Chains A and B, each alone.
Chain A
Amino acid sequence: MPVSKEYLFKRTILLAFVVFGVIFITFMITRVIPARPELLWAGPHATLEQIEEARRQLHLDKHIYLQFILYLQDLIFGNWGISWRTRAPILSDIISSLTATLELIIIAFIIAVMAGIPLGILAAIKKHGWIDDVIRVLTVIGASVPVFWLALIVQLAFGMWLGLLPSAKRVDEWVVITTSFKPITGFYIIDSMLQGNLLVLVNSIQHIILPAIVLAAYPLCLSARMTRAVMIEVLSEQHVRSLMAWGLPQRLIFFKYCLKNTLAPLIASLGLSFGYMIIGAFMVELVFVWPGIGFYAAMSLLSFDYPAVTGCVIIVAIFYCIINTLIDIIHSVIDPRVKL
């Protein structure tokens, strides 16, 4: 079903406003709230000249309104500052690490949805039975586990003690060197398939399994609980009850008439899952030395690299807004009753 142009236009305008709001809040927090932003910007071991340089870069000698305009200008033209940890421009650092995170998140997302939705449906069908209770408790525990701790434990147990799977980095160095593997898109799994490089493909899949499972834990439980709630709601609706009264087979009712109706609210809830995953990636990537934006951000936080932290926050927030807008549009395609 096509979406009206008017709706798309409205959503785009709204997205622009939200992104502007996000940038404005970030400006307030990083430039206005601290007493001397240049000290944060220049880092803990800065010399006087470096602080003076930071002051000039942040336009702190100008009026506050002008500061905001210049800040927007710097953002648009890519002058995001230089990380003093890696000594490289922040924007290029971020862009080069984005695909690693996306690969991890997409795999984790697939795991979460493939396992979470069937679990939720099973729980809804067996409502208030022992299966439902077990799934309920397990998903609550899964949603309560601190992701950084889970990462450490999984790494220790499967990587170190059992030695089943590699537990750091995206791919082994020796594999890259011996097969002269060159990343093209940055998604190693796709790249190795394109090049027909079987060794790298297997190696990078082995590397992604542990971090992806850890990262999937929370959204898996979230989607299972959401599916259960929505499914129970749908099962109690009038049209489903009349189907039951007519004596249609259960299987037909579930898969033909109910599943479709659970789709729209489930998709609407994916945005939040995505939000949790991208923040969870900060910690999971740190533990698994996964060279993505989460690792970059976490390392910057740990070494007080303030310009890099700000850059990561802006990029992640804008990304999140875009994803949420896309999800809303998809939602409205599936469920035409949804209005802006």
Chain B
Amino acid sequence: MKQLEETRMVLNLIIRKPISLIALIIVFGFVIVGFLAPYLVPYPEDAWGLAYNVENRFSPPSLQHLFGTDALGRDVFSRVLLGARFSLMIAVGVIGIALIIGIPVGVIAGYYGGKIGNFLMRVTDMFLAFPPLLLAIVLAATLGRGLLNLIIALAISWWPWYSRLVFIQTNTIKNMPYVDSAKIAGLSTFRILYKHIIPNALTPTIVQAALDMGSAILEAAGLSFIGVGVKPPTPEWGLLVSEGWQSINVAWWIAFFPGLAILVTVTGFNLLADALRESADPRLRRTILMRLGIKQ
């Protein structure tokens, strides 16, 4: 009941501001396009990179080809639309795997503390000592190009953020009176973790994770651009920009529109994150500030 109320409050705050409403529409639009893209694209063969039509190359944006055609005569609009699907897959995959690794590490380190906790958090710190994206670059270069490798590389550089977040949450929660009373009542450690600690530690983490999807899309596109991301002819946005770069003097639209798609999508996620930061509870705000590297 209380949770429902909280959700409604947050939704209210979001909808009241027109900017946040636009952001919400962008994010929902992105998710829907991501799911339905294969059925929406006007030229499915062009989108998957199977067909080419060289006579029709470099034709500028028109009603037939909203975003023009590329060096092989493929419809850029179809490819950008299908790209949403890959970006969605990457974002969900990266955040999902990062949570699966990060939450247990954070909970165990936070609850048990001592030597295990110290060790786990030192390992986390070691991963966080790399500048953002650098670890993902070397991992992706090692594993080779490919969608799955890209997701793994990004997830491995991503999980320490969540384990640190969960660690801090767990650390405060474990000293709460209700955890003590659960212990006195004789509940097993597993049950205490599962019933009392994880649900309470998770809320800010999940919210943070959902809002991080924008950054995941941005970083994946960056990796694809410098040649360690997905393989061509996958219509991933970063790779599309990189392909368009080769002929940018002849046909600016090939690189322009996929980049614009990244910009709009990521802006949607980040505006939403910003609105939540402004409105939501201080606990959430604190974790976000920590994510940005501010010590409190």
Q: Footprint of B on A, CB under 8 Å?
A: 18, 21-22, 24-26, 29-30, 33-34, 40, 133, 136-137, 140-141, 143-149, 152-153, 156, 160, 222, 226, 229-230, 265, 268-269, 271-272, 274-276, 278-279, 282-283, 286-287, 298, 301-302, 304, 306, 309-310, 313, 316-317, 320-321, 324, 338
Contact = CB atoms under 8 A, between A and B. Distances in A.
B137 A301 contact: yes
Nearest to B17: A133
23 contacts: A21-B126, A25-B130, A136-B274, A144-B263, A146-B263, A149-B255, A149-B262, A152-B248, A156-B249, A222-B292, A268-B294, A275-B132, A278-B131, A279-B131, A283-B226, A302-B227, A304-B141, A306-B141, A309-B137, A309-B141, A313-B138, A316-B131, A320-B130
B270 interface: yes
B126 A141 contact: no
Contacts of B43: none
Contacts of A226: 292, 294
B293 A140 contact: no
A29 B131 contact: no
B134 interface: yes
Contact of A146 (B227, B241, B289, B295): B241
A146 B255 contact: no
A21 B179 CA distance: 35
A158 B127 CA distance: 39
A282 B293 contact: no
Given A21-B129, A278-B131, A144 B270 contact: yes
Interface of B: 19, 122, 125-127, 129-135, 137-139, 141-143, 214, 218, 221-222, 225-228, 238, 241-242, 245, 248-249, 252, 255-256, 259, 262-263, 266-267, 269-271, 274, 289, 292-295
Contacts of B126: 18, 21-22, 24-25
B241 A149 contact: yes
Contact of A140 (B127, B241, B271, B292): B271
Given A152-B245, A317-B131, A40 B292 contact: no
A146 B222 contact: yes
Nearest to A286: B226
A160 B249 contact: yes
B214 A144 contact: yes
Given A226-B294, A317-B129, A140 B228 contact: no
Given A153-B259, A282-B226, A317-B131, 8 more contacts: A21-B125, A21-B129, A136-B274, A144-B270, A146-B218, A149-B241, A160-B249, A272-B293
Nearest to B23: A140
B274 A301 contact: no
A26 B129 CA distance: 12
Nearest to A22: B129
A275 B134 CA distance: 9
Nearest to B273: A140
Contacts of B249: 156, 160
A153 B259 CA distance: 10
A156 B254 CA distance: 13
Contacts of B139: 29
B271 A301 contact: no
A22 to B, nearest CB: 5
Contacts of A306: 141
Contacts of A152: 241, 245, 248, 255, 259
A16 to B, nearest CB: 12
Nearest to B227: A302
A33 B142 contact: yes
Contacts of A147: 222
A211 B261 CA distance: 23
A302 B132 contact: no
A146 B142 contact: no
Contacts of B138: 26, 29-30, 309-310, 313
A117 to B, nearest CB: 15
Interface centre among B131, B242, B249, B255 (most CB of A within 10 A): B131
Nearest to A25: B126
A144 B294 contact: no
Contacts of A153: 256, 259
Interface centre among A140, A145, A274 (most CB of B within 10 A): A140
B262 A146 contact: yes
B19 A156 contact: no
